[in-house]
Structure 1
Amino acid sequence: MPVIDLCVTKVDEISFKGALDRETVPNIWNKLTKWQPNLSQVKVDLAHVNRIDSAGLVLLLHLIEHAKNQNCHIMFTFVPDQLITLIQLSNVESLFADHINNAKVE
Structure 2
Amino acid sequence: MTEEEWLDGLRHLSPDMILKTHFSLQEQIKKHYKLRADPKHLKTAISLCEQQIALSPLAIDALKQNPQMYSKGEFFAPSHHGYRQYAVILRRQKEFDKLDTIERKMKSEGWAA
Tell me if TM exceeds 0.5: no
TM-score (ref. length: structure 2): 0.35
